[in-house]
Structure 1
Amino acid sequence: MFDGFKRFWRGVMRMFGYTTLKNIVGKDITLSDKMIDAINDWKNMMNGQADWTTDYVKSLKIEDGICREFADAVLIEMESSISVDRLDKVYQKAVIGLNENLQEGLGLGSFVLKPIGSEKSEFITADKFIPISFDDDGKPTDIGFLTVKRIGENDYYTRFERHYFVNGNLTIANKCYHSQDPSDIGQLCNLKEVEEWAEINPGPVTYPGMQQMDFGYYRNPIKNRIDGSACGVSVFESARELIQKADTQGARLDWEYESGERVIHVDNRALNQDKKTRCMGMPKLNRRLYRGLNLDAGKDVELLKEYSPEMRDEAYNRGLEKYLREIEFNVGLAYGDLSDVQQVEKTAAEVKTSKARKFNRVGAIQSKLKDCLEDFVAGLAFYNGLYTSGYEFMCNFNDSILTDEETERQQDRQDVSMGVMSHLEYRMKWYNEDETTAMKNLPEQNQIME
């Protein structure tokens, strides 16, 4: 059965490191140990297993929220197609999974959209390929993909598929490795030892006239400060410490609720014993309340005492909201995308500025994504024998992040003038004020809202 890429990442990437990967490739590679550690860290964060998570501190899944919000904003009104029906059919099938795979690519810094022959395709994220070299535009000129297959209990086969250029033309080569240890890539073997790979030409095979890669490569428009390479950086890397603080603050808030449960302090003899753990304790939530117990003790001994502390959840929640707003600012989201929009104490101008900030970041992502899709379509045309034939690729994005807000606001102004929307509702919605504050700021009856 296939292990997918789980073993590839945890075994090859994490345990082998740069030196072994360099030996597999046969030359220096761009992917450094620092990037391997960083990508693994981002992967763990997205899986809710960041370094700081414990039994006490749980992930709030902020990383997922960031990637999902950006992906939705990027793709919400994207329209794309290919003029050749045969290509368009394969393309439309591929982009069905674009949103979820873009989320993963945003989180891990990059992804590859790669044709598999003439009729299929696959998404490959940064934890599943080896960048060997890049051109000046940050696109791969040499890259390796690994696929792992386990046969039986102890036989592991790894196929290394390399795409690079020879004299300016695309060249593809395949190698196969066999090992009986999941943490060791093992020795070179014949591709025919694996039935599914028996028909693959080991190559190298060069394709004259194909002067670009046969896949699309997406990279986040973020400067790489991990190792300075052209490898992609996670969209939430700049907010890593803030996400840790938010997760910790969330744990404090949870503890405030749990520790604040009303309970009756009782004599040890009143505690229940768990049948499985044999530990003494008391029930949770509504079952924690006790009316009384018949216990033997002196008349001066207080057997029962109510515990009902004052809740401080409002202060903890304000702290959490503050961290969320700082995260929004750091990653380029608008205020209210992660935080509670009702608690965003910002002026209308500041809110609009945050929308513009998000618009700029989304636009940069869309530009990179469009380049990726164009290159994917070229690869698709190559595998369908249409690379040099006439085909057109259309891809448009809508800038609704800003324009829709202005349209909606103008409509609300009209509704206020018509009397179908109150001034109070308008202020609460567009000035982010609570009801009390909005009431104080309402215009006089003879004033007209501008």
Structure 2
Amino acid sequence: MKFTKMLDLVTNILNRESDTQVDVCLTSQMANQIELWTRMYENRSPWVNNEDVLSANLAPAIASELARLVTLEMKSEITGGAAADYLNTAYKSKVLKDIRRYVEYGCAKGGLVMKPYITRQGIEVQFVQADCFFPLSFDSSGRITQCVFTEQFRKGQKIYTRLEVHTLHEAAVHIVNRAFVATNDYSLGSEVPVNSIDRWSELAPDIVLEGTDRLLLGYFKIPMANAYDSDSPLGVSIYSRAVNLIKEADRRYSNICWEYEGTQLAVHIASSLLKHNPNTDKDEYPGGKERLYRMIEYNAGAVDKPYMDTFSPEIRDSALFNGFNNQLKLIEFNCCLAYGTLSDPQSVDKTATEIKASKQRSYTMVSDTQMALQAALEDLVYAMDFWAVLYGLVPAGDNYEVSFDWDDSVIVDAEEERNQDRSDVAMGVMRLEEYRAKWYGETLEEAAKNLPEPAMVEE
């Protein structure tokens, strides 16, 4: 079911049984944008028809590159007592193992929810993409206070839908599971007890969890202003400001592909020059050259030579590639990427000022996104600890600490920084043990011990 249609159905269900209208922060306009960003990420952009207009795969490339830069040197762990050890094992295997892939989904669609839950095997984490959950309200700090998750499957002629509503009220979270059965894609159908469906038989229809000041999930969103709805706290896609630019880039890419297709070498030849095969009643081309020769009718007099002409126009690839490359630079600028990320790095102007500004734009975006991801992961670990304590998997009150190391090499040119430190050592403004501690991962005491002995000078 389309995201916008599901939003209407969910809103109608909630308003039908509420004394006051539910103020849904996810507007139909934003829902349409999320659908568009999803289609672009899946190479199903509305302007791509695979005939006149092809896809240059720019949207997934942009999301993938930002996710790569954000998580390239990411290190995180949970430390503390016994509870921290248990949480850290689940954290590394269920979250960090595939974090880059899920961050890419969040970059593409504008948001990602990380929601832990308990199974017989322990803690699991569900990653819910922006087109599969419906945030209904936020508090003044931008934290979600009410949202709906949907799950849907088809069995035979029936479509089963589950709505999982999370609501934060004072110091408690209220979770409601509701199930519906329909025979078409246009409605949710009739409501049935959630326990009556085998897949959801172990779910509680209604539960209140006290002792928490936030919903039990982590919400990651791209740290860009929402240009489609300035009052909305929802995240936007990394390429949200470059939709029309990507559309034009796809057209220019298609023109390049057609240029190579339309200017292929061909020989126009009169049919009288071809040998006719009576068995197939067709004219035969020279072996393996069917693609090269194009037969035409030639109706001149008998004394004229049979017609043969070579079609070999000059390819305008340089001009077309220049236009396409300039379009990629516009996309890079609007997606906060450095020039040369998508465009040809050899064609990027090499002035020091332009290079510095371009890199700073990309570095700032990566750094801000890392901080947004860190905040979401901290909320996720909080939720994991809450559920683990609730089910007796870890002792209550056992403190833990979440640490993050993003590595400045993603934000700063490490080689340039290292050369600067060497210069400082040579000038005497930085001690050798400080340099060694910084670049060899040692403490100052270890670095001082590991320094080579000064060479003995013979008298």
Q: TM-score range by the shorter chain?
A: 0.7 to 0.9
1:287-323 deviation per Cα after TM superposition (whole angstroms, max 9, x unaligned): 5335999999633365211100011100000111101
Measure, in 1, the Cα distance between the counterparts of 2:58 and 2:229.
25
Look up the match of 1:221. 223
Identify the match of residue 391 of structure 1 among 391, 396, 400. Answer: 400
| Deviation (angstroms), 1:127 | 0.2
Look up the match of 2:431. none
Residues 109-118 or 295-304, more deviating: 295-304
Pair 144,268 (structure 1): closer, same or farther in 2 beyond 3 Å: farther
Measure, in 1, the Cα distance between the counterparts of 2:284 and 2:67.
46
Look up the match of 1:191. 194
Kept in 2, the 8 Å contact 1:334–1:355? The answer is: yes
| Deviation (angstroms), 1:169 | 1.3
Residues 367-376 or 402-411, more deviating: 402-411
Matched pairs, number: 393
Q: After TM superposition, list the pairs within 5 Å mapping 1:107-186 onto structure 2.
A: 107-117=108-118, 118-151=122-155, 153-186=156-189
Look up the match of 1:24. 13
Classify the secondary structure of the residue corresponding to 1:336.
coil
Kept in 2, the 8 Å contact 1:164–1:172? The answer is: yes
| Deviation (angstroms), 1:261 | 0.6
Look up the match of 1:253. 256
Pair 121,271 (structure 1): closer, same or farther in 2 beyond 3 Å: farther
Residues 340-349 or 101-110, more deviating: 340-349
Quick one: which amino acid aligns to residue 341 of structure 2? D
Classify the secondary structure of the residue corresponding to 2:55.
coil
Unaligned 5+ segments in structure 2 are 16-21, 276-282, 424-459
Classify the secondary structure of the residue corresponding to 1:119.
strand
1:66-96 deviation per Cα after TM superposition (whole angstroms, max 9, x unaligned): 1111111111111101111110111111221
1:245-300 deviation per Cα after TM superposition (whole angstroms, max 9, x unaligned): 1110001111111111110113468899xxxxxxx9999x9753359999996333
Pair 251,293 (structure 1): closer, same or farther in 2 beyond 3 Å: closer
Look up the match of 1:428. none
Classify the secondary structure of the residue corresponding to 1:28.
coil
Pair 97,85 (structure 1): closer, same or farther in 2 beyond 3 Å: same
| Deviation (angstroms), 1:63 | 0.8
Identify the match of residue 51 of structure 1 among 46, 51, 54. Answer: 46
In the superposition, the TM-score normalised over structure 2's length comes to 0.79
Pair 345,271 (structure 1): closer, same or farther in 2 beyond 3 Å: farther
Is 1:404 aligned to 2:405, yes or no? no
Look up the match of 1:101. 102
Pair 196,293 (structure 1): closer, same or farther in 2 beyond 3 Å: closer
| Deviation (angstroms), 1:345 | 2.6
Unaligned 5+ segments in structure 1 are 1-6, 273-279, 415-450
Classify the secondary structure of the residue corresponding to 1:133.
strand
Look up the match of 2:442. none
Pair 245,266 (structure 1): closer, same or farther in 2 beyond 3 Å: same
Classify the secondary structure of the residue corresponding to 1:360.
helix
| Deviation (angstroms), 1:16 | 4.5
Pair 269,361 (structure 1): closer, same or farther in 2 beyond 3 Å: farther
Is 1:37 aligned to 2:32, yes or no? yes
Identify the match of residue 245 of structure 2 among 242, 245, 270. Answer: 242
Look up the match of 1:65. 61
Is 1:92 aligned to 2:92, yes or no? yes
Classify the secondary structure of the residue corresponding to 2:320.
helix
| Deviation (angstroms), 1:184 | 1.6
Pair 322,192 (structure 1): closer, same or farther in 2 beyond 3 Å: same
| Deviation (angstroms), 1:198 | 1.2
Pair 402,82 (structure 1): closer, same or farther in 2 beyond 3 Å: closer
Kept in 1, the 8 Å contact 2:147–2:165? The answer is: yes
Quick one: which amino acid aligns to residue 105 of structure 2? E
Pair 263,88 (structure 1): closer, same or farther in 2 beyond 3 Å: same
Pair 303,122 (structure 1): closer, same or farther in 2 beyond 3 Å: same
| Deviation (angstroms), 1:21 | 2.2
Quick one: which amino acid aligns to residue 190 of structure 1? P
